[in-house]
């Protein structure tokens, strides 16, 4: 196993399902955004020679079906991932799960509204136009609900690409609504004013919520997840790391235990350098990747990462556990994507640590940066 795949090929247990559930959720949000924008275009009556009105309506309808399909995949993969206790019933009955109940519940509410639109559209000729239209207009509530769900239930809202996607979706919808309000076609002035105020409230609410909520550290605690569940999730990774590392390579255990020293006070950002080594497989077929590094600070604080798991096709390992030691602080790896690794460390100075690493293919050396923000005890939310 070469050095580069050992680092870049390592992924957390169930990573395929987790990436699938997050990617389908984001795609569903984009499709829902496009559906709302096209619905506004159709309601305004905008047409050109190359884009007749029936085309807007047809694309709007097909995008709605695609959106429901991606939401269904999002639900199935979330349940099958099994990292947090979310069941199939939680996808239909809101606010039941102990994991971020409000924000996961908003996702269930959005799914219910989409299903209601799908069913009433299929029965449109039987239930009547007025009833169908009432449910159809209610479906426009799906978009702000989906945005709050996406921001509040995921742990990747601070990633640049996800944040940019959320901003683009918001700009598209609010621009379309503003256009609809300005044209005012078949839209009484009083209702237009109410809609304008409501749109402004939703936009401001999303901005304030994102800024004060998911975009700040420690969201896993403030999002409503029970302390018992957070502690259980933390132990899930810490226990597996503690048992897997000595069994795979006792020498690494002593290295990790010896790594002690002053721990920088977060927030901080520092360069890191070091080397990586691979051992195994052991009797259970598990391999271990050890990243031995130190911060480029005044104290050269030692930093050790141990990743354990089974060999993956094409190189690397499918990580089943991961531990991090920074000076005298210890914690568990909470996510790993390519050369970016995040971890939660406990101790006298709890912190959320993010490592961005590169491998020199010639020497096998590691380099990159380590950034930390103040964390909370028991933060075990890896997703």
Domain definitions of the chain by residue range: 11-154+159-213, 227-374
With cut-offs at 50, 70 and 90, classify the pLDDT of residue 46: low
What pLDDT score was predicted for residue 27? 95
Whole-angstrom distance, CA of residue 343 vs CA of residue 339: 13
With cut-offs at 50, 70 and 90, classify the pLDDT of residue 108: very high
**CB atoms inside a 10 Å sphere around CB 160:** 7
Of residues 28 and 283, more confidence is placed in 28
- Quote the DSSP letter at residue 292: E
What pLDDT score was predicted for residue 76? 92
Question: Tokens 């409501």 map to which residue?
Answer: 198
What pLDDT score was predicted for residue 102? 92
Model confidence over 2-22: pLDDT tens digits? 333 444 444 444 467 778 888
What pLDDT score was predicted for residue 255? 38
Q: Indicate whether 57 pLDDT > 90.
A: no
With cut-offs at 50, 70 and 90, classify the pLDDT of residue 189: confident
Model confidence over 302-352: pLDDT tens digits? 999 988 876 655 555 666 778 899 888 888 888 877 778 888 888 777 888
Q: List the structure tokens of 76.
A: 């199935």
Closest C-alpha to 331, from 294, 303, 298, 296 = 303
Strands 11-12 and 317-326, by their bridges, are parallel
- Which CA distances in Å does 72 have to 34, 79, 86? 18, 11, 14
**pTM (two decimals):** 0.60
């Amino acid at each position: 196993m070469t050095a580069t795949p050992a680092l870049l090929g390592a992924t957390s247990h169930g990573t395929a399902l987790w990436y699938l559930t997050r990617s389908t959720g984001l795609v569903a949000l984009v499709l829902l955004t496009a559906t709302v924008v096209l619905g506004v275009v159709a309601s305004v009556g905008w047409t050109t020679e190359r884009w007749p009105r029936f085309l807007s309506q047809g694309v709007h309808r097909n995008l709605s079906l695609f959106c429901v399909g991606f939401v269904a995949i999002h639900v199935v993969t979330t349940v099958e991932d099994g990292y947090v206790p979310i069941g199939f019933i939680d996808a239909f009955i809101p606010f039941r799960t102990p994991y971020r109940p409000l924000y996961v519940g908003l996702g269930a509410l959005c799914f219910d509204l989409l299903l209601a639109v799908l069913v009433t559209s299929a029965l449109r000729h039987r239930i009547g136009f007025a009833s169908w239209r009432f449910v159809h207009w209610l479906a426009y509530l799906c978009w702000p609900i989906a945005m709050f769900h996406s921001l509040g239930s995921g742990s990747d809202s601070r990633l640049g690409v996800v944040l940019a996607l959320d901003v683009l979706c918001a700009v598209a919808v609010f621009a379309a609504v503003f256009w609809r309000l300005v044209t005012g076609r078949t839209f009484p002035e009083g209702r237009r004013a109410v809609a304008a105020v409501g749109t402004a409230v939703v936009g401001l609410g999303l901005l304030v919520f994102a800024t004060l909520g998911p975009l700040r550290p420690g969201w896993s605690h403030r999002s409503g997840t029970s302390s018992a569940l957070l502690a259980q999730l933390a132990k899930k990774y810490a226990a597996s790391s503690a048992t897997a590392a000595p069994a795979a390579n006792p020498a690494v255990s002593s290295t990790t235990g010896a790594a002690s020293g002053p721990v920088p006070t977060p927030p901080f950002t520092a360069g890191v350098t070091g080397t990586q080594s691979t051992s195994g497989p052991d009797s259970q077929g598990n391999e271990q990747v050890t990243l031995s590094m130190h911060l480029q600070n005044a104290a050269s604080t030692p930093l050790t990462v141990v990743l354990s798991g089974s060999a993956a096709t094409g190189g690397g390992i499918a990580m089943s556990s991961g531990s991090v030691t920074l000076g005298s602080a210890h914690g568990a790896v909470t996510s790993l994507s390519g050369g970016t690794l995040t971890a939660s460390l406990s101790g006298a100075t709890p912190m959320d640590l993010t490592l961005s690493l590169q491998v020199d293919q010639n020497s096998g050396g590691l380099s990159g940066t380590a950034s930390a923000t103040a964390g909370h005890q028991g933060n075990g939310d890896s997703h």
